Amino acid sequence: MTYDPYALAFPAPAFTVTSKDFTDGGALPDSAYQPRNESPELSWGPLPEGTRSLVVTAFDADAPIPGGLWHWAVKDIPATLNGLAHGAGAGTALVNDLGSTGYAGVNPPPGTGTHRLFICVTALAVASLELPEGASRALLNITLIPHTLGRAIIIGTSTPR
């Protein structure tokens, strides 16, 4: 697959995100699959000057449904953190596309090949995003635009089991 969901996103300077659980473009660990549903460890930085909070999202661009599948969206992560531990999961998470709050593990259907999970860390100039209860990931992404200082992306792959 070649579709990059961030190719048309509001432009932002890049910074670095890494994981002890997988390499960029490499396979996600078994714990990131269903039913374990454990988010991978993430480390980032240095953050753009003026960063006050972060948002972390995980999006399967290769899900065999229109628009892909959002596995995770966490907002209002303090800029004083330099990462999230393995299994961090929820925090101030929005409901994902599978109807749960927190990280929903990957589970590509048979016959759909390798899927790419785009994990994106967005640095923001505000300490908190004021979103209504039950806000969608679309509203989250729109609300990010005027506050975005930078973006870091790491891609993990998953295959049908």
Q: pLDDT (tens digit, 0 to 9) for every residue of the chain, 161 residues total?
A: 578 999 989 999 999 999 999 999 999 999 999 999 999 999 999 999 999 999 999 999 999 999 899 999 999 999 999 999 999 866 678 999 999 989 999 999 999 999 999 999 999 999 999 999 889 999 999 999 999 999 999 999 999 99
- Going from N- to C-terminal start, the domains of the chain cover 17-158
Closest among 142, 120, 112, 111 to 129, alpha carbons compared: 142
> How far is it, in rounded angstroms, from Cα 93 to Cα 73?
6
Whole-model pTM: value is 0.96
Looking at CATH, the fold of the domain delimited by 17-158 is given as Phosphatidylethanolamine-binding Protein (3.90.280)
Phi–psi pair at 31, nearest 5 degrees? -65, -20
User: Which residues 6+ apart lie within 8 Å of 138 measured at CB?
Assistant: none
Euclidean distance between CA atoms 4 and 2, whole angstroms:
6
